[in-house]
Structure 1
Amino acid sequence: MTTHHPRTSILSTTFIAVLSVLAALSFLTGCGGEGENADPKEVLAASSAKMKTIKGFHFEYEVHLPEGVKPGGGLFIKRIIGDVNAEGEMKATVDANYGNLPVSLGFVALGDVHYIQDPVNQKWQEIAAADSPVGSLNLSAGTIRILDHITDASYKGTQRKAGVDTYHITGKIAAEEVEAIAGAVNTTNTFPTDLWIGVENSLVYEVKIAGSATPNEHKDIWRSIVLSNLDTHVNIEAPQ
């Protein structure tokens, strides 16, 4: 005579149900890196429209050299950290190398006038933007130009950036579109470019641009911009 164990049967059914739920969750988690296939042109167009309306942002701009490679002579800008507002004004700290000497200086850009803080005596010097050591660097305009002019755009899936789900878009940028990011360009090469754009808000969270902008740069150099405090206005005035 067969003895039935209702409790065992119920537990078995419950166990199977739990396993099914866990399997479903595991499947969803495994697919999360790709997400639904997004149209890169639509993502870029939406981001361009959004970035043209924001009040400003905080940024970390960095120039990356291959391991073991040292910058050449003259002024080499390694990193710029600061804020940009909707008017294109910038206030930042510039970390650079002048030959083998590391220097850090204050920097303010107001239209056609730039202000440079002497790293030794801490005094500010007013110079024309055309004579500025950062050249024609304009991260706000440069980011929008990339969104508007990137070619061969391709969707690479989704990634988390700054706690936000972003679309990873790759493509190529013509040399003339990189000048606002690199500060100076003397090449006709195109630049492989990566963008990370918010899934929900269309804001740009990170940009990566690979390739040398001038003949004296290493061929494997690349530049990155990490954006935060997006759509936040910062009042920037001439230093006293």
Structure 2
Amino acid sequence: MTPALRAALVALAVMSAALALSCFGGDEEPAPPATPTAAQATATPEPTPTPVDPAAVIRESADRMEGVQQMHFRLDHENGASEIVRGIMMVYAEGDIGGADRMRAEIEGALGTVKFETGVIILPEGSWIQNPFDRSWEREDISIEEFFDPQDGVAALMREVLEPVLEGIEEVGGVETYRIEVLADSGDLAVFPTATPGFEVRATLWIGVEDLLLYRVDVRGAISEDESSGILRRLELSRFGEDVDIAPPP
């Protein structure tokens, strides 16, 4: 065999072996890692929610409530009542505020052991109370501040509360509200004219998340010496800014 033929056979053998390896054997090299896209490389992290400051919420709500001239209210009691005119103990009241010195209310009250229903109308030109026995209306010299003042009283209360704590978010009358627990001195409860200073009470405020209006307030504890420490007052407010027609009695 000539040297040229031997070299040709060796080259042919090498080529055959290489072809066999490429078809039937050998480990594949791993694919290079994927390069992050521009969107992946610049993704913005989720923002951390700003904590709610309950004291700031209460201050802003007080400002909002001072500007409300019309509203509907309901006041209820547990384990007690609030004294109003003529010695009447008011257990429940529901009515409307129609602006400065304009109010009407239906009242469930008691004189001693006698329970009855009556009404009150207060206007700039005069005020009246309904005789619970014959349902006639009688003139009575009374102002909103002397009777029950949800319009100015709630804002005054919110400006004096102590140690506000946000307890969560709750729905009240279909409205999402902040529930805030506070402490207050009974002397700051101008909403109730019989309140005297020196009694610590606990209160819960339900303030609208979106509009910062006060929808409900619970006041727990005595606000005068002759009340039970277990008394609960619940004031609910609604229909803010709606026109109300309050007229003298027929």
**Same fold? TM cut 0.5:** yes
1:112 Cα shift? 8.9
Alignment check: 8 A CA contact 2:89 2:109 kept: yes
Q: 2:244 aligns with which of 217, 234, 237?
A: 234
Q: Tell me the residue number matched to 2:195.
A: 185
Task: Report if aligned partners of 2:219, 2:234 keep a CA contact under 8 Å in 1.
Answer: yes
Indicate if the aligned counterparts of 1:88 and 1:141 stay in contact, CA closer than 8 A.
Answer: no
Tell me which of 217, 225, 231 is aligned to 1:207.
217
Do structure 1's residue 217 and structure 2's residue 227 form an aligned pair?
yes
Q: Which amino acid aligns with 1:231?
A: G
Question: In 1, are the aligned partners of 2:188 and 2:197 still within 8 Å (CA)?
Answer: no
In structure 2, what is the Cα distance between the partners aligned to 1:169 and 1:214? 24
Percent of residue pairs identical: 23
- For residues 43-192 of structure 1, what are the structure 2 equivalents within 5 Å? 43-65=57-79, 75-110=88-123, 113-129=126-142, 135-178=146-189, 180-192=190-202
Distance 1:113 1:144 in 2: 26
Q: What is the match of residue 197 of structure 1?
A: 207
The answer (yes or no) to whether the contact 1:55–1:233 under 8 Å persists in 2 is no
Aligned to 1:21: none
Aligned length: 198
Tell me by how many angstroms 1:215 deviates: 1.9
Q: Any idea what SS the aligned residue of 2:140 has?
A: strand
- Aligned CA RMSD, in angstroms, stands at 2.5
4+ residue runs of structure 1 moved beyond 4 angstroms?
none
1:59 & 1:107 partners in 2: Cα distance?
14
Amino acid paired to 2:202: P
- Write the distance in 2 (CA, Å) between the matches of 1:169 and 1:84: 25
Q: Is the 8 A contact 2:69 2:151 kept in 1?
A: no
SS at match of 2:94: strand
> TM-score normalized by structure 1?
0.75
String of CA shifts for 1:117-171, please: whole Å, max 9, x gaps. Answer: 11122211112227x9x94421111111112211111211111111111001111
Amino acid across the alignment from 1:161: V
Return the index of the structure with the highest Cα Rg.
2
Query: Which consecutive unaligned segments of at least 5 residues does structure 2 have?
Result: 1-48
1:187 CA displacement? 4.5
Deviations 1:17-45 (A, max 9, x none): xxxxxxxxxxxxxxxxxx97310121112
